[in-house]
């Protein structure tokens, strides 16, 4: 017998919580059919909100997973980081004025737009594979016509880029009214 | 061999490995034409531009299509796990991917089978995965920006979207505190290049250098200008510069290229990269004390 504890084959860092076991099983089926790696686990007592079964997920995939569960009408309570001390999702943004352009930063993601036209001129930051894809899809489009990262993306980087887009849109539309 | 691995936003691009080359505005890897945009493509193009200038072997690139669902990322990790010992690169630079802690752990184990341990560089989500899995000290160089530095300093966050608000609120003068916090919890690579208004080069917790000139704040909004630094420093390390020297030269060169390009927030990363040969020609000898004759 090995004296060493074997590292788990899946380390997701995120938990989907459910009200009952049936929902957890149904969600597992939905996610596995879409090739997400997930694992049924018992949530730690301090995080438990409904039943004693949860799904461990790769936390970075939270937005794509939540979108899929909603599309399939699979009931869940919430998605949380597994580490109890983790902060909530960042809600604040930072705005930088570059003269003719404005840059909005949400966590690790930045979006820059032309103040007059509302055209997205650049996105930067991040590290997940949907970010270069969204970069290509969004640049050159007006803020109010651009695809939403929350609809096209799958990762937390995309969710933060969506926050930056939302704030940019509010700034630009507010500016137009002046 | 210098091996750069990362995903590309090209649907249907199969796992592809080969020496990188340039064809006009495109990057070419094993007959696949790849546009030079933000992400792995910008990093490889920057590394290739540097190796071409230095007249050394071009980077080997391991790339795969992935637009966020992770299938390509997992194929890339599995390929590396199975083949890294056989490839035994001198420099292994990991870049865009869906961060996966368990696969990163297996890759770090597989690297131990290389005939000589490669110099390990991680940027983008490869850095996120290394930190989240508690494997940061297995890497030689990380290249975080200010928010990613806050992520390394937050012991609980597994992604920058979940960092504590007070860490996100810090300005560049707080970087030394964030650096100290990251090293205290073993959440930093041996060498850090923290990119920002002032770039910090840090080795094992000690700040070796800061770079703030030329000051080109318009580089920050341009997608891919962090990727270019990582690409350049990978090439400089492969060329024989000490890791800290490579990071200093890369940070300076990126700033100077931004200045020469008259960068605005609307500038594209390939316009920055196109300035690298002129920057190298004018400054590399002075900065690196190693003078190449192109």
Chain A closest-CA separation from residue B291 CA (Å): 33
* Least CB–CB distance from A128: residue in B68, B132, B151: B68
Give CA–CA dist A122/A162, Å, rounded. Answer: 14
CB B150 within 8 A of CB B167: yes
**In whole angstroms, what separates CA B102 from the centre of its chain?**
21
Contacts B150 to A, Cβ<8 Å: none
Chain B from 116 to 135: CB within 8 A of any A CB: 123-128, 132-133
Q: Which residue has the tokens 């969204």?
A: A134
Which of B81, B221, B271, B272 has the most A C-beta neighbours within 10 Å, making it the best mutation to test the interface with A?
Answer: B221
CB contact under 8 A, A127 and B99: yes
CB contact under 8 A, B124 and A124: no
pLDDT tens-place string over residues A125-138? 999 999 999 999 99
Burial class of residue A100, CB neighbours in 10 A (0-12, 13-18, 19+): middle
Helices H / strands E in chain A, number of each:
5, 8
pLDDT tens, chain B, 294 aa long: 999 999 999 999 999 999 999 999 899 999 999 999 999 999 999 999 999 999 999 999 999 999 999 999 999 999 999 999 999 999 999 999 999 999 999 999 999 999 999 999 999 999 999 999 999 999 999 999 999 999 999 999 999 999 988 888 777 789 999 999 999 999 999 999 999 999 999 999 999 999 999 999 999 999 999 999 999 999 999 999 999 999 999 999 999 999 999 999 999 999 999 999 999 999 999 998 767 665
Q: Which residues are CB-neighbours of B220 under 8 A, at least 6 positions away?
A: A96, A103, A110, A124
Q: Which residues are CB-neighbours of B237 under 8 A, at least 6 positions away?
A: B91, B119, B121, B141, B243, B246
Give CA–CA dist A169/A115, Å, rounded. Answer: 11
* Least CB–CB distance from A136: residue in B37, B133, B154: B37
Q: Which residue has the tokens 């074997």?
A: A6
Q: pLDDT tier at A1 (50, 70, 90 boundaries)?
A: very low
Q: pLDDT tier at A51 (50, 70, 90 boundaries)?
A: confident
Q: Which residues are CB-neighbours of B133 under 8 A, at least 6 positions away?
A: A11, B101, B102, B104, B105
The 3 state secondary structure assigned to A18-63 is CCCHHHHHHHHHHHHHCCCCCEEECCCCCCCCCCCCEEEEEHHHHH
Please give the ipTM for the structure prediction: 0.95
The size of chain B, in residues, is 294
The answer, for B271 touching chain A at a CB cutoff of 8 Å, is: no
Burial class of residue A72, CB neighbours in 10 A (0-12, 13-18, 19+): middle
Return the minimum-mean-pLDDT range out of A46-55, A59-68, B36-45, B182-191.
A46-55
Give CA–CA dist B273/B279, Å, rounded. Answer: 10
* Least CB–CB distance from A107: residue in B123, B161, B224: B161
CB B44 within 8 A of CB B20: yes
Chain A closest-CA separation from residue B128 CA (Å): 8
CB contact under 8 A, B165 and A64: no
- Which two structure tokens, joined as six digits, stand for B215? 């000051």
pLDDT tens-place string over residues A84-96? 788 888 888 999 9
Helix (H) or strand (E) holding A104: strand A101-106
**In whole angstroms, what separates CA A27 from the centre of its chain?**
18
Q: Which of A170, A160, A166 is nearest to A124 (CA)?
A: A160
CB B191 within 8 A of CB B140: yes
Contacts A7 to B, Cβ<8 Å: 102, 105
Contacts of range B26-29, beta carbons closer than 8 Å, 24 or more positions apart? B27/B61, B29/B61, B29/B63
Which of B27, B68, B127, B219 has the most A C-beta neighbours within 10 Å, making it the best mutation to test the interface with A?
Answer: B68
**Sheet order of strands, A39-41 included:** A39-41, A54-58, A13-17, A78-81
The answer, for A168 touching chain B at a CB cutoff of 8 Å, is: no
* Least CB–CB distance from B102: residue in A9, A92, A122: A9
What pLDDT is stored for residue B278 in this prediction? 97
- Which two structure tokens, joined as six digits, stand for B105? 């752990």
Q: Would you say the pTM of this structure is higher than 0.90?
A: yes
């Amino acid at each position: 017998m090995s004296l060493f504890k074997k590292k788990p084959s899946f380390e997701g860092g995120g938990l989907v919580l459910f009200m009952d076991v049936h929902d957890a099983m149904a969600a597992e089926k939905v996610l596995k059919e879409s090739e997400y790696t997930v694992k049924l686990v018992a949530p730690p007592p301090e995080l438990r909100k409904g039943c004693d079964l949860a799904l461990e997920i790769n936390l970075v995939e939270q937005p794509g997973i939540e979108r899929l569960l909603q599309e399939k009408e699979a009931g869940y309570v919430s998605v949380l980081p597994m580490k109890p001390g983790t902060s909530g999702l960042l809600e604040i943004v930072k705005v930088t004025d570059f003269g003719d352009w404005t840059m909005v930063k949400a966590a690790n993601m930045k979006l820059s737009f032309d103040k007059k036209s509302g055209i997205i001129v650049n996105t930067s930051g991040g590290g997940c594979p949907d970010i270069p894809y969204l970069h290509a899809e969004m640049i050159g489009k007006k803020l109010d016509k651009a695809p939403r990262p929350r609809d096209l993306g799958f990762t937390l980087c995309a969710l933060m880029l969506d926050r930056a887009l939302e704030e940019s849109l509010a700034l630009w539309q507010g500016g137009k009214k002046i | 061999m210098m091996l750069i691995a990362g995903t590309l936003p090209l649907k249907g691009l199969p796992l592809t490995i080969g020496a990188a080359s340039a064809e006009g505005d495109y990057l070419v890897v094993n007959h696949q034409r790849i546009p030079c945009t933000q992400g792995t493509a910008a990093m490889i193009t920057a590394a290739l531009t540097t190796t071409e200038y230095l007249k050394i072997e071009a980077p080997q690139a391991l790339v795969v299509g992935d637009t966020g669902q992770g299938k390509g990322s997992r194929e890339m990790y599995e390929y590396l796990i199975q083949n890294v010992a056989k490839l035994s690169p001198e420099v292994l630079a990991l870049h865009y991917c869906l961060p996966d802690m368990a696969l990163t752990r297996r890759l770090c184990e597989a690297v131990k089978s290389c005939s000589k341990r490669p110099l390990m560089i991680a940027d983008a989500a490869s850095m996120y995965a290394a930190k989240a899995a508690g494997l940061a000290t297995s890497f030689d160089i990380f290249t975080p920006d200010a928010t990613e530095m806050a992520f390394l300093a937050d012991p609980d966050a597994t992604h920058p979207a979940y960092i504590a608000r007070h860490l996100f609120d810090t300005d560049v003068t707080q970087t030394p505190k964030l650096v100290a916090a990251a090293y205290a919890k073993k959440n930093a690579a041996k060498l850090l290049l923290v990119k920002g208004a002032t770039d910090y080069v840090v080795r094992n917790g000690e700040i070796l250098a800061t770079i703030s000139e030329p000051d080109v704040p318009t580089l920050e909004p341009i997608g891919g200008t962090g990727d270019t630094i990582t690409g350049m420093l990978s090439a400089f390390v492969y060329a024989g510069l000490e890791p800290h020297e490579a990071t200093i030269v890369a940070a300076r060169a990126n700033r100077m290229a931004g200045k020469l390009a008259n960068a605005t927030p609307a500038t594209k990363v390939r316009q920055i990269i196109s300035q690298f040969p002129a920057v190298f020609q004018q400054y590399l000898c002075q900065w690196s004390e190693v003078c190449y004759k192109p």
